[in-house]
Every structure is written in structure tokens, then in C-alpha cells.
Amino acid sequence: MRANYHRRRLSWFGGCLKQSKVFLGQDRLAPAELARLREERLQALLAHARERSAFYRERIPAGPVALEHVPALDKAEMMERYDDLVTDPRLRRDELLGWVETRRRDEFFEDRYRVMTTSGSSGRKGLFVYDREGWAAIGGQFLRGSTWFGVRPKLPRTRMVILGGAAVTHMSAQGGASLGVGVHRVLALRVTAPVEEQVAALNRFRPDYLNAYASAAMRLAEEQEAGRLRLSLSALSTSSELRTTAMTERLTAAFGVHPYDLYATTEGLLGAECERHDGIHLFDDNCIVENVDDDGRPVPPGEPGARVLVTNLYNRVQPVIRLAVADVMTIHPEPCPCGRTLVRAAAIEGRRDDVLSLPARGGGTVSVLPAHFSVITRDRAVREFQVRQEPGGVRVLVVPCADGDPELEARLRDAVARALGELGAEARVEVERCEALARPGGKLQIVQAMPG
Ligand SMILES: [Zn+2]
């Protein structure tokens, strides 16, 4: 049984590697050629969805269709109509959710499907299933990103660590399990494991490349600076959480490499920073990305949208067409000097971290982005923090690096109050120290708006 499992993983890894080569060959397509490739894949997807999905048959007109003539979709509706939306009738929402809850290790549903869930800020679970080809495309995109970071398959095999989601249903955990064969050696570590355990495992494994949530990487930077962790990395990337400039500087100092940003969503949109470190190239040869405002109208480059509509061009079993993803993005108006023609997001905020709306001096409100709280990460005494909005202001929960810094609260309160004041906000700031922060699903939400 396990031998069979291993053989299948090997063949999947082969698929990932093959796809990554195709994707890397598309990095610098002429814009017109890229648009043609996208359109061809889109029409094939729309025809497939219309033929095989009862849900999409109602929504997609016959013949070649302009994407904007297909209604946008939100996660609640996707989950509501899940059983009609998928193209394999064996996939049933309630059964899948029940099945995935009881998994204790990496497994396939019906011997062929990857099943993943997302928590989402609405509290409603999202369910995403990929078939063999689709899952290899996810792996291929991950390898594409790591190739950009300078991680190349080599002998002896490259050693990668993916420090990721706590749940086996999370994409990073399954990604680690899938890629851990072949030319790379991959160790998947849980971000919720005690830091002493992470340090011991990392010192034993000696990775060349580490990918971690930003807050988890920061925790490891502290261990590296203290000499308990002894990594010699050739590449480092962070994903899923806010990484401020101050955090980037500290990670660079601790590990001697400039960290890259890797962007991955379970919906299937992935992206990565190139060597210019100026925004994230979205892999829009594999997904169509529409940046839209609150009313669903397209937002021009240079301006922040309210959410993005994602059309996944490679998931055939669960077609994702114009699905709203709650990321606040600004598309860079200029092509990247690196020559890659993939669209570039100048900034991605939101999703895990909320944009706060705080009272302004003299009435009205001021929008405060997660990055505005970078003054907190600049303080060396801070291990990690979380900002929670409260009536009339914010409460900053801080886990200090060591006890016995009696000035910490006052210092942070002043720094945050000053930063908010410069934005024109009139907000009360409280700072409270605590032992640990909650990480539902393994990720830390750094900024939390008031519910409602
Ligand atoms: Zn670039």
C-alpha cells in the first residue's frame, strides 16, 4: 500500500517538474502571445465546464464567450452549489468535508483527488479538490517560484523545508508531502510545533531552501541570531502573511539572504517575487486575474481593488471561474525590468490581515493598512504581535522576546500612536503583553478588524 503510494508520488513529482519547465518557458512570452495562450485555455475551460457541470451550464452561454459575460461567483455560492459545480459526480460536499476532517496523514480521495479546505474570514469553510493534473500544476508553479529564487534541482539533492499549515488539509502540508521525492528532499514541518522542536529538526536536516509564514520565519531569525539555529541557506521565502520592510531587513541580517515572497492560494492563483524584489509576479498564464472594486467593476493598474476574481485555467474537476478572492491588490502599472511579462502586483494586502477603518481627526475615517504597523516589528524586543480593533482604537497584543523590559508597553504605545497620528487617525492605543497568540489553521492574523 505504502509502496504504491510512494510510486504515485514519484510520478506526480515527475508531472510537477515537467509542468514547471513549461511554465518557466512562458515567463517572458510577448504580451500578445500570452494573451492568446490565456484565451485559448479559457475557451477550452468554459466549454468543458458547460459540458460537464450542471451549475456552469446555467451560467455560461454557448459558443466563444467573453469572460465578463460569465457571472462572478463567491465562496458562499460555490459551497452552496458544490455538488452541481464539480465535474465528477462522485464528489459530494458533505461527504468530502466529513472525509477530510478524519484524515490524519496525507491521503487521496477515491485514490486520485487532493482535497483541501480553507477557513476564510467569513468563518465559512471553502473546499477545493484537484485531480492529478491539476495538482501537478500547483506543484509545478511552486517549483517555478523556487527556480526563480535560485533553487535548482541538483545532486546531491536540494534540501527544502516547507514550514507550513498545521492541518493536513492545508495546501502547504500536502505540497510538502507531494514534493518530497525525486530530485528534491523536502521536509514538511508544522508551524504549530514548539520552536525547540523546529530548531532541532532544522539543524538535523540542514536545508538549502526554507519557505515559511513570515511570522514563523521571524521566530527562526531570533533563534539563528541567538546561535541555537545554525542554518546556511541559499534561499529563503515567506508566504501567506504580511512581511514588512523591517521584517525583511531582519531576516536578511539573520540568514544572509534576501527573502523572497511566495504567494499561493488554494483557489489556484500563485505568484512569486523575482530577483528585483519589487512586487509579486502573478502566474497569470495559469489563472486569469481580474482586479475589481466593491461593485465588481475593473480597477486600473496603480489603484487598489476591493477583491480579485480568479479564473483557474487548469482545475478541470472543480472549475473555478471568476471566483472572488478577498485580497486587496494593486497591479503595478509598469512592466518589470526583469523582462517577465506576467502581471505584477505592487502590493497584496488583506485576506488574512484586515485593513482597519479608524476614526479620523475632525470626523470621518482613515484606512490603516497592515503595513502601517511595521513600527512594531522594528522593535527588537518584540517576538510577535497582533493588532485588534476595538471601539475607538486598537489593542496591540505583544509576545516579548524576553521578560524584564518594563518600558516595552509604553514605547510601543507611543510608536503606534505616532504612526496612526501621522495618518490622521484619532485612535486610542492599548498595548498588552501575552505569552502566545492564537493561530487558527497555523497562520497568524496580524491585523484583525472589529467583527461587523
Ligand atoms: Zn520581475
Tell how far the Cα of 3 is from the centroid of ligand 1, in angstroms: 41
Residue 157 in contact with residue 185, Cβ under 8 Å? yes
CA 227 to centroid of chain Cα atoms:
30
The CA 45 to ligand 1 mean position distance, Å, reads: 28
With 0-12 / 13-18 / 19 or more C-beta atoms within 10 angstroms meaning exposed / middle / buried, residue 94 is: exposed
Range name among 1-5, 196-200, 237-241 with the lowest pLDDT average? 1-5
- What pLDDT shows up at residue 122? 44
- 369 Cα to the center of ligand 1, angstroms: 24
Instruction: Encode pLDDT of 7-62 as tens digits.
Output: 777 777 788 889 999 999 999 999 999 999 999 999 999 999 999 999 999 999 99
* Residue 104 CA to ligand 1 centre (angstroms): 39
Identify the helix (H) or strand (E) that includes residue 271.
strand 270-273
Q: How far is the CA of 263 from the centre of ligand 1 (A)?
A: 14
Q: What's the rounded mean pLDDT across residues 106-126? A: 75
What is the whole-number distance in angstroms between the Cα of residue 444 and the centre of ligand 1?
28
Give the β-pairing of 356-359 and 393-400. Answer: unpaired
The yes-or-no verdict on residue 387 having pLDDT over 70 is yes
Taking alpha carbons only, the member of 106, 231, 222 closest to residue 161 is: 231
CA 341 to centroid of ligand 1, rounded, Å: 8
For residue 181, pLDDT beyond 80:
no
Per-residue pLDDT reduced to its tens digit, 213-238: 888 898 899 899 999 999 999 999 99
Q: How many CB atoms lie within 10 A of CB 339?
A: 9
Is residue 242 over pLDDT 80?
Answer: no
pLDDT at site 36: 98
Q: How far is the CA of 351 from the centre of ligand 1 (A)?
A: 23
The Å distance, Cα 51 to ligand 1 centre, comes to: 38
Mean of all residue pLDDT scores within the chain: 87
Ligand 1 centroid vs 264 CA: distance in angstroms? 17
User: Mean pLDDT throughout 265-294?
Assistant: 95
Q: What is the pLDDT of residues 81-105, one digit of tens each?
A: 999 999 999 999 999 988 887 876 6
pLDDT in the model for residue 439: 72
CA of 281 to the centre of ligand 1 (A): 7
Q: Which residue has the higher pLDDT, 349 or 384?
A: 384
Residue 157 C-alpha to ligand 1 middle, in angstroms? 27
Query: How many Cα atoms are found within 13 Å in the side-chain-facing hemisphere of 328?
Result: 18
Question: What's the gap in Å between 14 CA and the centre of ligand 1?
Answer: 27
Higher pLDDT, 383 or 253: 253
pLDDT at position 441: 61
Q: Is 18 helix (H, G, I), strand (E, B) or coil?
A: helix
- The predicted model gives 118-124 an average pLDDT of 56
For the stretch 305-361, pLDDT in tens is 988 999 999 999 999 999 998 888 999 999 999 999 999 998 787 555 677 888 988
Helices (H), 180-244: 195-205, 214-226
Span from the CA of 270 to the centroid of ligand 1 (angstroms):
15
Distance between CA atoms of 125 and 167, rounded to whole angstroms? 14
Q: Which residues contact 244 (CB under 8 A, 6 or more apart)?
A: 371, 373, 374, 377
Cα-to-centroid distance, 276 and ligand 1 (Å): 6
> Which of the four pLDDT bands, split at 50, 70 and 90, describes residue 121?
very low
**347 CA → ligand 1 middle, Å:** 14
Q: Give the pLDDT of residue 170.
A: 64
pLDDT of amino acid 12: 78
Residue partners of 19: CB distance under 8 A and separation at least 6: 136, 137, 139, 140, 141
